[in-house]
A = this chain, B = another copy of it.
Amino acid sequence: MAYRETEKMRERKARARQNIIERTWECVAEGGFRSARITRIAGLAGVATGTIYRHFESREDLFAEIFRLATQREVDKVAEALNVYGNAVERLDNALRKFAQRALKGPMKAWALIAEPVDPKVEEERLVYRKAYASLFEQAIRDGIAEGCIPDQNARLASTCLVGAISESLVGPLSPTQTDIPPGQDNNEDELVNTIVCFCIRGLTGTRS
């Protein structure tokens, strides 16, 4: 008898898997899921295409995992930003700002997570993601209504509007075919974030900033 899987081997495999995940996310950040080719991912990861299939059942499964990991990160950040000291409006303002800033830092990623059409297994993950956001914002809106700093309204729909306004405003203008915004114009970006967040908060509260 011979080869038995050893700890060292397990680790090496885990590292390889992790590496594939990271390279894939790089690809996605570059052109979305659709254009992330297995061959390219394998190339970046420095392995053969077949190797990908030793670690993941299929392309779709790989993507689903990537998606899950990435969205978890995003949702956590927003939850964190929603957890600062202050009233509901201030906390929402903070969270929206964080959301917008993160999306702007990686517009392609944001697009892939929010709007890119994806295969069923990935779409399933997206549903979870949407729900996670919706719940976070919805709860904050309810808090605000209870505190009296937000007028009574349908918190669920309002939270959808929030996500919609912010994500499209960011993803739309900054999606794939966009070359006319010179990079490094933080000025522009700051104004964009401000305008969007103001719009959202006003939409919610009905009061001028």
The interface-forming segment of A36-44, A66-74, A159-167 is A159-167
Chain B residue nearest to A169 (CB atoms) is B164
Known contacts A117-B116, A123-B177, A154-B191; A161 and B130 CB within 8 A of each other: no
Contacts of A106 in B (CB 8 A): none
Alpha-carbon separation in the docked complex, A198 to B202 (Å): 11
Is the beta-carbon distance between A206 and B209 smaller than 8 angstroms? yes
Chain B residues with Cβ below 8 Å from A172 are 130, 160, 163-164, 167
Chain A residues at the B interface, C-beta cutoff of 8 Å: 32, 34, 115-117, 120, 123, 127, 130, 151, 153-154, 157-158, 160-161, 163-170, 172-173, 175-177, 191-192, 195-196, 198-200, 202-209
> Which 6 A-B pairs rank lowest in CB-CB distance, beginning with the nearest?
A164-B168, A165-B165, A203-B203, A164-B169, A206-B208, A168-B168
